[in-house]
Structure 1
């Protein structure tokens, strides 16, 4: 009865008449030597009994133990079903229907008045092509639901599948638990200006950050900024000092003038939006703070000599501020094409993005795959980002859930470190020559950087003002 090549794990579940067995979809047909009354529960409708048919199958084992086995696949019922099971002492029959109980096979045991159902969990590995099992249900791109997808992908190591009903490819989501600064001054696949992130209401504008224009993308609204906003600093772009310290320098005059031009453009757009008085005080505060931060970086890269790594971080920060400002204005005023998009596990968020024409990638655990219609299955796209670490590497910036907004707070605070000189008066005095005390003090000092950038609490500058923690924070930049 049990299919060859498949192992099973049993779990007993007490069952009484008219008890809901579990989430039931339509993927596989099961037959059993019992009488099954199947009820289809539609929203705001009375339960409708599905047609019945009697047939003896299976083989009696011990105290009337019966196996259920799969015989085919069909997709007639898409709602939750209520299953009523009655075991007969003389005539054992079944309703021939099409259903799947939690992607499992089932073992029913009857001994006296008690009926027990045993869930036989199938251990077969889910595969990418399994996403196409419902593709022949008559749906096309015009009538897909939020739970369906023009394209779908499966990530085995995390046991999740991702669907997208309004696009042609699905990027791989950021899943690493640690965030580190890379040698290009950015944060790899956790950088919201370079790759889609998980949705959070506090950073809702991330999903409308524009993608880097492609080589043939002539209609991209920000194509003119390609060589400034989407470029990586090279050593030839830095004019190094010829004095005593030769490892520090400034951006070349030509490169800096391009960033000055980008700031003038976005500052003009931001000023026009604030003067229109059609947006909230919170959003106007975001525009004001981010423009101030961007202007400060533009001024610093023109006049303050720094090492090459700091210059890369500050250039990446200027690009990030500019893209977030553009995204914020586009989000509030209108939507553009070629957007970054967002990952989400929330159906409401997915529905809102679909209606707005914003790319959205719905993430679901694979054990929830049931009646989703997916027209095409492909491997996720991995964006070609710089993931090399500088030497020596910086400490871990954030460690934890890659979908949590806390990581964005950590990245914003970490960038501020590169805009601050070391305080010469912030040193430690050891009053007694205690080795143990000295080691403890040294460890605490060396760990203060990683603690300040990885915790979820606001850090404070030397004047005691709280730093702005997010793009919608109302605190003034310090």
Structure 2
């Protein structure tokens, strides 16, 4: 099956799975003196670490400025490498470092729950590891697999679907219990995004049972995974981290290290103090000249996203235009996969001539699935693909005088099988003309 042959490339180098491999998370030591500044000068000072100190720290250059990063974790990731003008779909049908469930982003007040998203477990036996699993052609039930008679399309293998659905149903039950715990006197009202993520997760699971191409099946799986992880992060924020921020004691909190969440970057000491209090990972970035009396226990080499994540663009997926504003990019990610075509567009019709010279129309070849922006010029009109066909049929069109454009005679019946024979509004207008000219009563 051609679709399967093309998509084998998706598994050529499954970099996303490296975030679940403890080998790649080995911390390397780094020099302590940077540009004459000894960042470990207070290492042996007898004092308890605070939110502005660092269990580890790292150094990096940006432009012509040196920065140092302190954190309450034992590792330091690099800032995500993204294109400020667009969001790019990757070969694994994810969004690489732009994806907040794969790599920490800068803190955003509007999306303050994202740092609470679970971090990928390095234990493959952990049930949650399913949310970073990459399906391959063997997981696609289709005629080529010998397990179905359906022609052209297929579905995710049922055992994998059952595992995804089981985890999702547990999370949805947790959401229902959270809503029941709220009372009219409780000031912690659920955010609107909570209901939206719940509905999206339910609908995405349902769509996974619809026959589709292999590409769309993979997009459907990664969509379920992303929505599951973001919903988990939002529920954790509402039930665990927000109460901690409000000063409600949590006996389960680990006072020695932050929880196993994805965390965030910030250049604001206030945000670092908040994350220290609620026990979430945070990487505080400051210019090197701002170093004063912070206590740092160890210097390490920061990890690069390209070491863990798939960075090569997906073939046939158009980049989505975006800005460098973080809130807008995060909001746009919620809509990228929702706008991916599911089946071949029946309006994309082209004229084709047979080898014998006789003219005949046929549907265009199935275009590759792609992430579509609402501003994409190619999709402003669903009838754009039929224009070459109307040019080829001179008997049904009238040439526009003084120009190269060709407009269809609107009173000639359609000859395309996808369109109705007559538009009612046009038909009624012709009846009105008959009334006025001949006085015929209808």
Q: TM-score, normalised by structure 1?
A: 0.57
State the Cα distance separating 1:299 from its structure 2 match. 1.0
Is residue 196 of structure 2 the alignment partner of residue 277 of structure 1?
A: no
* Number of the residue aligned with 1:447: none
Q: Is the 8 Å Cα contact of residues 235 and 308 (structure 1) preserved in structure 2?
A: yes
Q: Which residue of 194, 198, 211 maps to 1:291?
A: 198
3-state secondary structure, aligned to 1:311: helix
Bigger strand share: 1
3-state secondary structure, aligned to 2:111: helix
3-state secondary structure, aligned to 2:200: helix
Q: Is the 8 Å Cα contact of residues 148 and 163 (structure 1) preserved in structure 2?
A: no
Distance 2:103 2:292 in 1: 29
State the Cα distance separating 1:225 from its structure 2 match. 2.6
Q: Is the 8 Å Cα contact of residues 163 and 374 (structure 1) preserved in structure 2?
A: no
For the structure 1 residues 276 and 366, does the alpha-carbon distance in structure 2 shift closer, same or farther, using more than 3 Å as the test?
same
Distance 2:181 2:110 in 1: 23
Q: Is the 8 Å Cα contact of residues 398 and 410 (structure 1) preserved in structure 2?
A: no
* Number of the residue aligned with 2:128: 225
State the Cα distance separating 1:437 from its structure 2 match. 6.5
Distance 1:149 1:233 in 2: 39
Alignment of 1:425-440 (within 5 A): 426-428=382-384
State the Cα distance separating 1:193 from its structure 2 match. 0.8
Is residue 331 of structure 2 the alignment partner of residue 391 of structure 1?
A: no
State the Cα distance separating 1:389 from its structure 2 match. 2.2
For the structure 1 residues 398 and 357, does the alpha-carbon distance in structure 2 shift closer, same or farther, using more than 3 Å as the test?
farther
Q: 1:354-377: per-residue Cα shift (whole Å, max 9, x none)?
A: 111111001223454455443322
Alignment of 1:1-400 (within 5 A): 129-130=33-34, 133-137=38-42, 140=45, 142-158=47-63, 159-177=65-83, 178-215=86-123, 223-226=126-129, 228-241=130-143, 247-277=152-182, 283=190, 285-302=192-209, 304-334=210-240, 337-383=259-305, 384-392=308-316, 394-400=317-323
For the structure 1 residues 423 and 247, does the alpha-carbon distance in structure 2 shift closer, same or farther, using more than 3 Å as the test?
closer
Q: 1:142-190: per-residue Cα shift (whole Å, max 9, x none)?
A: 5344433222222224435242341111111113224210111111112
Q: Which residue of 315, 330, 333 maps to 1:411?
A: 333
Q: 1:8-31: per-residue Cα shift (whole Å, max 9, x none)?
A: xxxxxxxxxxxxxxxxxxxxxxxx
Distance 2:71 2:62 in 1: 23
Structure 2: 5+ residue runs without aligned partners? Answer: 1-30, 242-252, 254-258, 348-380, 388-397, 407-442
Structure 1: 5+ residue runs without aligned partners? Answer: 1-126, 439-478
Distance 2:128 2:331 in 1: 27
State the Cα distance separating 1:345 from its structure 2 match. 1.2
Q: Is the 8 Å Cα contact of residues 142 and 149 (structure 2) preserved in structure 1?
A: no
Aligned residues: 303
For the structure 1 residues 134 and 382, does the alpha-carbon distance in structure 2 shift closer, same or farther, using more than 3 Å as the test?
closer
